[in-house]
Amino acid sequence: MKIHYISENNSVLNHFLGQIRNVNVQNDSMRFRRNIERIGEIMAYELSKILPYKEIEIKTPLGIKKTTQIDTDLVLCPILRAGLPLHNGFLNYFDHAENSFVSACRYHPNNDDEFEILVEYQAISNLNNKTVLLLDPMLATGQSIVAVHKKLLENAAPTEFHIVVVIAAPEGIAHLEQNLPENCHLWVASLDEKLNEKNYIVPGLGDAGDLAYGSKL
């Protein structure tokens, strides 16, 4: 799996990453959503650099200009609900893309720290021969992304598959490397230290879905 780390060089991306982590800033849910959206825009720009392009000619009021445009059909697929602000950022840049939606959540059958991943709601477009971008702000254990990847590819054969996360733990990256094909791309805005005993990312930022949309039962 090819891994792309985006925040290794200083940029405004690190400014927004700091704000979504900051307990004195992140509780403003509108600002949190907007910052995740901004991070999505930056990551979309970086990802766009390795997409295939073709040469075209554009007619302007004064003549003809040769340029390039993206030469692949894109499908954006956020994991609900936390992935929606990240999806908005990507959609701002890839406004021509198709969109698919899928939900994944941790299910604790014994009401303890052990869990399994439930992949339930799906609204998936035709992914055959397209470039799929799977969007989720947090990569903790990696189990959700592996489960969703498996579900998306049950009856589809995309040409490329990109996974985009804002914050990742080393354990989650290792899980993806063990369970996903080598031709997948993983885009990481920030790599954190570890998972704690409850499999949450440290230092992380908390629950991205709750911060964006409010706590759940």
The pLDDT value recorded for residue 69 is 97
Mean pLDDT of 87-100: 98
Contacts of 54 (CB under 8 A, 6+ apart): 68, 69, 71
Spacing of C-alpha 186 from chain mean position? 9
pTM of the model: 0.93
Tokens 């598959």, residue located: 161
For residue 31, say if its preceding peptide bond is cis, omega within 30 degrees of 0: no
Helix (H) / strand (E) containing 116: strand 116-123
The tens digit of pLDDT for each residue in 48-68 reads 999 999 999 999 999 999 999
**Cα–Cα distance, 144 to 117 (Å, whole number):** 6
Q: List, for residues 115-129, the tens digit of each pLDDT value.
A: 788 888 899 999 999
Interatomic CA distance for residues 158 and 206, integer angstroms: 33
Distance between CA atoms of 132 and 99, rounded to whole angstroms?
Answer: 9
* 3-class secondary-structure state, position 69: strand
Q: What are phi and psi of 69, to 5 degrees?
A: -145, 160
pLDDT at 108: 67
Backbone angles phi, psi at 152, to 5 degrees: -65, -30
The arithmetic mean of pLDDT across residues 20-34, rounded, is 96
The 10s digit of each residue's pLDDT in 171-188 is 999 999 999 998 899 999
